[in-house]
Structure 1
Amino acid sequence: MKQTAFLSAIIAATLAAPAAMAMNPQPDPQNPEGFVVTRAEVQAAEVAKTHDPMYTTWAQALRTRTNDIVEAIVPGAASNPENVKRVERVFPEADWDFLTQMAAPEYTYTRFLRAIGKFPAFCGEYTDGRDSDAICKKSIVTAFAHFAQETGGHIAIDNYWDNPQGLEEWQQALVHVREMGWSEGQEGYTTGCGQNDWQNKRWPCAAGQGYFGRGAKQLSYHFNYGAFSEVMYAGDATKLLNEPGLVADSWLNLASAIWFFLTPQAPKPAMLHVIDRTWVPSQRELDAGIGYGFGTTINIINGGIECGEQNKDKGQPVNRIRYWEGLAKHFNIPIEADETNTCWQQLPYGSLNLQGATDVLYTNWDGNWKYFADRPGGYSFECELVGYQTAYSALVEGDYEKCVTNFYESHAGWPAVRVVDVIDTNPGDGSNPGDGGTPTNTWDKDAVYLTGDRVTVNGVTYEAKYWNQGVNPETAGQWGAWKVVSGDTTGGNTPTNPDTGSGNGTDTGTDTGTDTGTGGDTGGTGGDTGTTNPDTGTNPDQGETTWNATTVYLGGDQVLVNGVTYEALYWNQGNNPVSGAQWGPWKKI
């Protein structure tokens, strides 16, 4: 991941947030069904959407050092990075040994320092008056409280047979390096692998590999291994997808936990920014009982299972809180007056609807499905920030452009978009095939066409009004699947009896949570499947109505209500066209 260039762009956006440049998509001379937009337009749109200073903070928190620097880190070395030296000062090896007397041998103090050295923001320097050493120590102790729950021994202090040293449970972190019952060579946690979806296009599972829990935070599932690999290996998702065992047998076993600690899972903040108070809770979060303190870090990790009044006495959160309180007492970590150790009084993040809140920031891009009357097919050709996981992150350089071009094919029905530096306004005179002159026939009876797709038949350009296949534009008729965009159709090719073309459109979406850890939250899968209103192939009679309240309509679909024709501006269901709402989903034609 090339964080430096991305950070520069974000800082520029923070210093001066220009108004978004209007997108002006043009027909693609290389693809009669596609469009081109300029890179300047795309970059301006991204900058306008990420000008809040918090995007700079997130980008800085996720900056990484190269692995050659990290692997040179050893305790006491003069060449160690400054944040590593701070850790050695506030949490020396003696403290590590005190908390890891039961730990698996794969966890070492050297690997701990390397994991921290990968991320300069962990135990980094604050120049605004905050106590850098105190924040560093509190961050480490918080991490160990969660380690003790995720990978701890959980052996009572008076169980001499299994705990002859009489260790407190908060001293029993990092006992497990692999999830109990699993070993290398076993396939497992491969749910979703091999599906034809954006997660597999971005993070393809490797044959014969298992993505069960590994490391201090028990990293699980291919989408987490792939995303972590991108950070560890300069954007290469396949390294850890092909070699997941590295998350157990190298310093990555601790780096995976530090990465999780620093990464916001919109709308949830990064744990670091709860501890150092960079994060400011929104009013909706405050109304839901979510504020500063250890309890919010539980909500970030596993709120759906451990937070809320129904989980007040549940073993997992009770353990975490006991471990945190024992560690905080031992290491003299002060608990501020406005901090709460518990989360039973909090609404879990998964149950908190923050979409649309003006004081909440999001970190994932998805297609903007709002209707733009001045753009082809009504599409925005832009992406927007959303409060759920998608294929594209606002914190990864280049992901906005990938979202606009639908790089991982995650937007069903999105137009074909290509980003260019300059749009050629004089593509050719037609003397050479494909040079942008007079278009040739491009319709294919076997191809599937989506709303907004364009084809040319005998010099006439048609645009698809909805999903269709095998519907000839020349014979589709007034109520069919195609509408004329340009060209002369007076040659007698419009039929008296329109083709009875019908189209079925499916819009499926997967929202997969990024929470990791034993028993961690997993996102739900949901999809809406809609059937466009099929062409009846008849001339409408006065009073005829084809609209149905239970049918899903897509942009461009047409219906009759009492003999009046209405066209859908965007996806809708149950919205009566006759209501005539000014900003509603229908227009009368």
Structure 2
Amino acid sequence: MLATTAVCYAPWSPATAYSGGATVSYNGVNYRAAYWTQGSNPSTNSGPVNSGQPWITDSVCGGGTTPTPTPDPGGSFAGLSKAQFESWFPSRSSFYQYADFVAAAAYYPSFAKSGNATLDKQEVAAFFANLQHESDNLKAVREYNTANWPLYCDVNWVQVPCKSNNVGDQYFGRGPIQISWTSNYRSLGNAMGLGEQLVNNPELLATNATIAWRSAIWYWMTQPGRAGRSAHDSMVGGYGFGQTINAINGNRECVGGTAYQGPAQMQTRVNYYTTFTQNLGVPTGPNLSC
């Protein structure tokens, strides 16, 4: 039961990032953040302590508050407008919105911000071409094959021990680039300043859109894979789109990979990239395949 009427905290804003312990009010109710959150409406994403929700209901407060409206990002990000994004992914999950992508990109000042307009558009095209393949055209929020969900945990790795078989404790693929395995959830959480929150609550990647988008950009910017350099470094260094595939899934899709499955999957990514660069009015650049 909520406490008796209290003074309202500052109104919740969907554009503001809140750390654990932050306080807000929304429609006459005070809330306290359980962990880092952004864009999660307290009225529909709250519960008691340890509920797993980003907001903890606190108290009824004196008078309703009007939330700050979500700003329309307008313009474009590295040449990609909201209208273009929506035309690229017309059947995407409603979880994946342009405004959340732009908000997440702000955490990575080097992402598609080289100062070279052509190169930046190529990087955005490459990023989304790979995501289109990884997430089934941005339809997949969680990995489709539920039979595999309990398998993404190494019981012998004590640094990140496995927990229960509850969905909320499993480390299957989530988000636009389908982050999986306990080690990646921990590395991502530490990189984002969330500590153990993603290990303790991996469902954040499927319920908090900004965190989900940040996970994809983090992976793009930092993980070298078989390429020996990140997908971002492959693009800005002039190595070509093919090396972004090598960084993300080179062992399966690039010639000489340890689990090479043939060229079809790689070619699908190349086709997406070619379409997106044409749409943005830039050349593809060299080395499309790997």
Q: RMSD value over aligned CA atoms?
A: 2.9
Structure 1 position 180 matched with structure 2 position 135: no
Deviation at 1:144, TM superposition (A): 1.1
User: Which of 289, 295, 302 is residue 242 of structure 2 equivalent to?
Assistant: 295
Q: Which has the higher contact order (CA 8 A, sep 6+)?
A: 2
- Cα gap change, 1:76 to 1:106, in 2 (>3 Å): closer
User: Which of 320, 341, 346 is residue 288 of structure 2 equivalent to?
Assistant: 341
Structure 1 position 306 matched with structure 2 position 253: yes
State the partner residue of 1:215.
175
Amino acid of the residue matched to residue 302 of structure 1?
N
Structure 1 position 136 matched with structure 2 position 93: no
Distance 1:146 1:318 in 2: 11
- Cα gap change, 1:322 to 1:123, in 2 (>3 Å): closer
- Cα gap change, 1:182 to 1:274, in 2 (>3 Å): same
Aligned residue for 1:122, secondary structure, equals coil
Aligned partners of 1:116 and 1:122 also within 8 Å:
yes
Aligned partners of 1:233 and 1:239 also within 8 Å:
no
Deviation at 1:314, TM superposition (A): 3.0
Aligned residue for 1:120, secondary structure, equals coil
Give the unaligned 5+ runs of structure 2. 1-15, 20-36, 40-68
- Cα gap change, 1:296 to 1:187, in 2 (>3 Å): closer
* Residue-by-residue CA offset, 1:341-375 (whole Å, 9 max, x unaligned): 011xxxxxxxxxxxxxxxxxxxxxxxxxxxxxxxx
Deviation at 1:135, TM superposition (A): 2.9
Deviation at 1:111, TM superposition (A): 1.4
State the partner residue of 2:190.
230
Normalising by the residue count of structure 1, what TM-score does the alignment of the two structures yield? Answer: 0.35
**Alignment map for 1:153-192 (pairs within 5 Å):** 173-182=137-146, 188-192=150-154
Larger radius of gyration: 1
Amino acid of the residue matched to residue 96 of structure 2?
Y
Distance 1:317 1:121 in 2: 26
Amino acid of the residue matched to residue 297 of structure 1?
T
Deviation at 1:93, TM superposition (A): 0.9
State the partner residue of 1:205.
162
Deviates more, 1:133-142 or 1:108-117: 133-142
Amino acid of the residue matched to residue 80 of structure 2?
F
**Fraction of identical pairs, as percent:** 26
Distance 1:322 1:114 in 2: 28
Distance 1:330 1:307 in 2: 26
Deviation at 1:274, TM superposition (A): 1.5
Deviation at 1:313, TM superposition (A): 4.8
Aligned partners of 1:151 and 1:176 also within 8 Å:
yes
State the partner residue of 2:51.
none
Distance 2:255 2:38 in 1: 42
Deviation at 1:190, TM superposition (A): 3.5
Distance 1:233 1:67 in 2: 12
Aligned residue for 1:95, secondary structure, equals helix
Aligned partners of 1:204 and 1:241 also within 8 Å:
no
**Alignment map for 1:363-378 (pairs within 5 Å):** none
Normalising by the residue count of structure 2, what TM-score does the alignment of the two structures yield? Answer: 0.67
Aligned partners of 1:189 and 1:220 also within 8 Å:
no
Aligned partners of 2:153 and 2:170 also within 8 Å:
no
State the partner residue of 2:281.
332
Deviation at 1:120, TM superposition (A): 2.0
Aligned partners of 1:71 and 1:114 also within 8 Å:
no
Aligned partners of 1:90 and 1:137 also within 8 Å:
yes
Amino acid of the residue matched to residue 141 of structure 2?
V
* Residue-by-residue CA offset, 1:250-297 (whole Å, 9 max, x unaligned): 1222211100110043771121122112xxxxxxxxxxxxx7111111
**Alignment map for 1:86-97 (pairs within 5 Å):** 87-88=76-77, 90-97=79-86
Deviation at 1:86, TM superposition (A): 7.9
Structure 1 position 255 matched with structure 2 position 214: yes
Distance 1:147 1:264 in 2: 15
State the partner residue of 1:105.
94
Question: How many residue pairs get matched?
Answer: 222
Amino acid of the residue matched to residue 294 of structure 1?
F
Aligned partners of 2:253 and 2:262 also within 8 Å:
no
State the partner residue of 2:235.
275
* Residue-by-residue CA offset, 1:306-350 (whole Å, 9 max, x unaligned): 1117969532112111111122222222133xx21011xxxxxxx
User: Which of 266, 284, 288 is residue 317 of structure 1 equivalent to?
Assistant: 266
Distance 1:138 1:103 in 2: 22
- Cα gap change, 1:176 to 1:319, in 2 (>3 Å): same
- Cα gap change, 1:309 to 1:104, in 2 (>3 Å): same
Aligned residue for 1:105, secondary structure, equals coil
| Bigger helix fraction | 2
Distance 1:216 1:324 in 2: 16
Aligned partners of 2:234 and 2:240 also within 8 Å:
yes
State the partner residue of 1:246.
204
Distance 2:218 2:183 in 1: 14
